[in-house]
Amino acid sequence: MRRPTRRHLLSRAVAAFAAAALAPARIRAAGRDPREYLVEIEGFAFLPDHLRVAPGDRVTWVNKDIAPHTATAVDGSWDTGTIRAGEAASLVVGNGQAETYICRFHPQMSARLALADGDRDQSARTFT
């Protein structure tokens, strides 16, 4: 097996450093540090059913029901997939994503991830 040359190792390290340096810059462009949010699914409802979020924030849904659920954008632009009883799923908020979501299995379950206006304006300048 060939060992990578020193030059290859160096360029790999530079690339890794550049990627690491770039990622926080993209998140900072949203105007603040990314935050973590927890949404509980209980009694066939999302709790809380309204969150103000910004691109880069992470939202985790925990299913406390015995039935499986999903968190699925009404326009299908994002989807946690099936979250079984006692399990959880996370997504990182993207730019321009649909805000209203439902459970695919129980469409009467509805909630909102509202994108903060200021963050949205700033991210539009940064990302487009």
Nearer to Cu ion, 29 or 98 (CB): 98
Give, rounded to a whole angstrom, the gap between the first and last alpha carbons of the chain: 44
CB of 115 to Cu ion, least distance (A): 24
CB of 106 to Cu ion, least distance (A): 4
Side-chain half-sphere of 59: how many Cα atoms within 13 Å? 29
Ramachandran angles phi, psi of 123, nearest 5°: -70, -30
Q: Closest by alpha carbon to 47, among 62, 35, 32?
A: 62
Q: What is the C-alpha separation between 60 and 71, in angstroms, rounded?
A: 10
Interacting residue with Cu ion among 105, 107, 114, 121 (CB under 5 A): 105
Restricted to residues 56-75, the positions that interact with Cu ion (CB under 5 A) are 69
- 80 counts as binding Cu ion under rule CB under 5 A: no
**For Cu ion, which residue has the nearest CB?**
103
Nearer to Cu ion, 63 or 123 (CB): 63
Residues comprising the chain, all counted? 128
Nearer to Cu ion, 27 or 38 (CB): 38
Question: In whole angstroms, how far apart are CA 121 and each of 26, 47, 95, 113?
Answer: 14, 27, 10, 16
Nearer to Cu ion, 91 or 103 (CB): 103
CB of 74 to Cu ion, least distance (A): 14
Enumerate binding residues for Cu ion (CB under 5 A): 69, 103, 105-106
